Structure 1
Amino acid sequence: MGNAWWNLILRFLLELAALLGLGVAGWSLSAGFWRWILAIALPLVAAVLWGTFAVPDDPSRSGRAPVPVPGAVRLALELVILCGGATGFYLTGHAAIGIVMALLIAFNYAFSLDRLGWLLRQ
């Protein structure tokens, strides 16, 4: 699969932004002790899921799949985490960041059609 270097960088930055958006949501949408728990747990759980559930031999990753899943499951997981981060920003008063992030997610996938096709065939 021939993802351009700039699109791979964009994907990596979107992954980091998603974790941040989930953390911001955990912090802003809760109070007291739960604020700390959710601000740490939401991004941590997302990162563990992202790294654990993978399609074997995915060329956009290391190729390793600690827990092998079908491509459609992996794609759904990616979209839930990425869009969850964008939604987290949007719901916590950072609407512009959430909207820009959502647009960049769509842009990233639009330039990853070969990978999307590969995932859906697995």
Structure 2
Amino acid sequence: MGNAWWNLTLRFLLELAALLGLGLAGWGLSAGWWRWILALALPLIAAALWGTFAVLNDPSRSGRAPVPVPGAVRLVLELVILFGGAAGFYLTGHTTTGIVMALLIVISYAFSLDRLSWLLRQ
């Protein structure tokens, strides 16, 4: 299950961008002291979920799974976090960034069909 180096790099950058988009959403879609809490909590929760719930022996990760989950659950988690980040950009006025990010997510997964197939078989 080999992913090209460019796609692995893109995936990593999309993960970072998703955290930023979620933070922007927390800041931009709330007011008062809630904006501070949500701007920090949303990306931290997403990162914790991303690192905790994994498919055992996933070759695109370390292979470790602190909390093993079925592949379909992992895929839904990834899509919610990544597209949630894109939506965060979009909803906070960074429309082009949100759209480009969503397109890059689709491209990354389109070039990861072997991984998608593997996840859905787990």
Q: If the length of structure 2 is used for normalisation, what is the TM-score?
A: 1.00
Aligned-residue offset at 1:103: 0.1
Correspondence list, 1:1-122, <5 A: 1-122=1-122
Aligned-residue offset at 1:57: 0.1
Aligned-residue offset at 1:94: 0.4
Q: Matched residues in 2 for 1:4 and 1:75: separation?
A: 19
Aligned to 1:11, the other structure's residue is in SS state helix
Letter of the aligned partner of 1:60 in structure 2? S
Q: Deviations over 1:19-49 (max 9, x none)?
A: 0000000000001100100000000000000
Aligned-residue offset at 1:113: 0.3
Unpaired segments ≥5 residues, structure 2: none
Letter of the aligned partner of 2:66 in structure 1? P
Aligned-residue offset at 1:69: 0.2
Letter of the aligned partner of 1:73 in structure 2? V
Aligned-residue offset at 1:50: 0.1
Aligned-residue offset at 1:53: 0.1
Q: Matched residues in 1 for 2:28 and 2:103: separation?
A: 23
Aligned to 2:30, the other structure's residue is in SS state coil
Q: Matched residues in 2 for 1:17 and 1:93: separation?
A: 15
Aligned-residue offset at 1:108: 0.1
Aligned to 1:50, the other structure's residue is in SS state helix
Q: Matched residues in 1 for 2:10 and 2:84: separation?
A: 17
Equivalent pairs counted in the alignment come to 122
Aligned to 1:58, the other structure's residue is in SS state coil
Q: Root-mean-square deviation (CA), in Å?
A: 0.3
